[in-house]
Each structure stands twice: as C-alpha cells, then as structure tokens.
Structure 1
Amino acid sequence: MAWFLYLLECSDGSVYTGIATDVQARFDKHVSGAGARYTRSRKPVQVLASFELANRSSASSAEYWVKRLTPSDKRALAAGLRTLESVLPLPEPEPVAEDEPASP
C-alpha cells in the first residue's frame, strides 16, 4: 500500500507536515478538528503538496527529515524548487562482498 507525505498550509501561514494513505481524507480530518493537535488551532487552508512513498516506514522517515526544514524550505519543496530526495539523507552504500580465496 502506498503512503504519502503531505504538506498543508495553515491559516497562520505555517506549514504542517504529515503522512497518510489518503491525503484528501486526512486533510478533511484536519479541517474538521479531528486531526493533529497542531492543526486544531491553526486550521488548514490547503494541501500544498503530497509525495508518494512505497510504505509507511519510508513515509515516516521522510516525515522525520521534512519536519526539520524551515518553513521556506518546506514551501520550496512544495513548489518543486527542491526534490524530496534532496531532503533525505543519502542511502548507506551496500557492503562490497570480498572474493573468498579459492580452496586448495
């Protein structure tokens, strides 16, 4: 099942970051006041962007890194001036298997 990282613009101009399997349904929950505590006092105005990820684990990891961005960097990401990949840490290189010595 695909998961999405999403960015919401809130009524105070802040940018909220979250993850969900259905961005529109989650946005509707935020608008109704049943979403995150943050958006209860800063009503969401619109979805700025959403990014599809393979699974919940990768979505949670992306959320961790995007939440550390400044509001202007989040807006740049939403506008396509930055890529999601540019925000995430580089993947660890896979270890190179050494050739085993030939047996006698």
Structure 2
Amino acid sequence: RRYEEHKKGIGAKYTKIKKILKLEIFFSCSNRSEASKIEYFIKKMSKAEKENYLNKIKDLEAIIFEKLGIKIEVKKNF
C-alpha cells in the first residue's frame, strides 16, 4: 500500500520530489510499530551502509534483530 502511495506522490515530501523507480527490498514484520522502528533505524544509516546491506540481506536481518529485537522476513527481487 505504501509503495503505491509513494508512486502516486502521496505521503512523504521526499517521494513527491524524487520519483520512485523501483522497490529495492521488502520487509515483512508483525505490526506497524515494528515497521516504524525498522524504517527509523534504516533512515539513520548512511547511503553507503544502505547500499552495502542491499548486497548482504542476511546481515541486515541479523543487525535488525540484534539492535531492535525484531525478527523480519526480507524479500528482494520479487
């Protein structure tokens, strides 16, 4: 749902200015609270860190569990 909103320019100011070309990664977690915590955690990372984790998905799953205590399912190239 949120991806569709971003594509339409609804929601975050950033996505109204910068058009979203593709979805790189998809996280599945238990609830909205966990999703918000993960989103905040990732937004604090540098661009280099984010790009690095795109190539090491298992590392990203582990760091989110270690730092936030949240178990996630990650889907890439779906």
Please give the TM-score of this superposition, normalised by the length of structure 2. Answer: 0.68
- Partner of 1:83 in structure 2? 60
Comparing both chains, which one has the higher relative contact order based on Cα–Cα distances under 8 Å and sequence gaps of 6 or more?
2
Kept in 2: contact 1:33–1:39 (CA 8 A): yes
Residue of 41, 45, 53 corresponding to 1:65: 41
Change (3 A) 1:90 1:38: closer
CA deviations 1:22-74 (Å, max 9, x no partner) are xxx32222121113111111111110101111111211111121111111211
The number of equivalent residue pairs is 67
- Partner of 1:34 in structure 2? 10
Kept in 2: contact 1:33–1:40 (CA 8 A): yes
The Cα RMSD (Å) is: 2.0
Name whichever structure is richer in helix by fraction.
Answer: 2
Q: Superposed, which structure 2 residues align to 1:40-51 within 5 Å?
A: 40-51=16-27
Specify every segment of 5 or more residues in structure 2 that has no aligned partner in the other structure, as ranges.
70-78
Q: Report the AA paired with residue 67 of structure 2.
A: P
Please give the TM-score of this superposition, normalised by the length of structure 1. Answer: 0.54
Name whichever structure is richer in strand by fraction.
Answer: 1
Q: Secondary structure of 2:26's match?
A: strand
Runs of 4+ in 1 over 6 A off after TM superposition: none
